[in-house]
Amino acid sequence: MKLSEIKGERVFDVIADIIDPITSIALDEEAKKFFERRQCPDDMSGWEFFLTRLKESLPTLIKTHKHDLCVIMAAMEGKTVEEYVENMTLPSLVSDLVELLTDQEFASFFA
């Protein structure tokens, strides 16, 4: 689910739940590198550039902010953190992370 897909009064709850973890990530210079706007080099495709940036920044983001990411993804899914983590699998986590990290509305918090 993307932030732009959250509707109605639920928007208030989601914003209230994700402000703290987003702030935590935004204050971490290493973790927020993933969200920095950079120009794609001429010798790379957009996909190659995205994957290179993913490889450089995502491990740090995940390792240092796993709880923050779980809070954000749980809030967006309308679940508690415990429910989200209990049902998390490797494929579901990868899918949720890709959706979250490619969400322009989410990335705008770090611009």
CA 88 distance to own-chain centroid? 15
Give the model confidence (pLDDT) of 53-95 as tens digits.
888 888 888 999 999 999 999 999 999 999 999 999 999 999 9
Rg, C-alpha atoms of the chain: 14
Task: Tell me which of 33-37, 64-68, 98-102 is least confident.
Answer: 33-37
Please state, for a pLDDT cut of 90, what percent of the chain lies above it: 59
- Residues 31 and 65 sit within 8 Å (Cβ to Cβ): yes
pLDDT of residue 18: 96
Q: What is this structure's pTM?
A: 0.85
Give the model confidence (pLDDT) of 37-55 as tens digits.
888 999 999 889 888 888 8
Give how far Cα 11 sits from Cα of 41, 64, 77, Å.
37, 27, 12
For residues 2-30, average pLDDT: 93
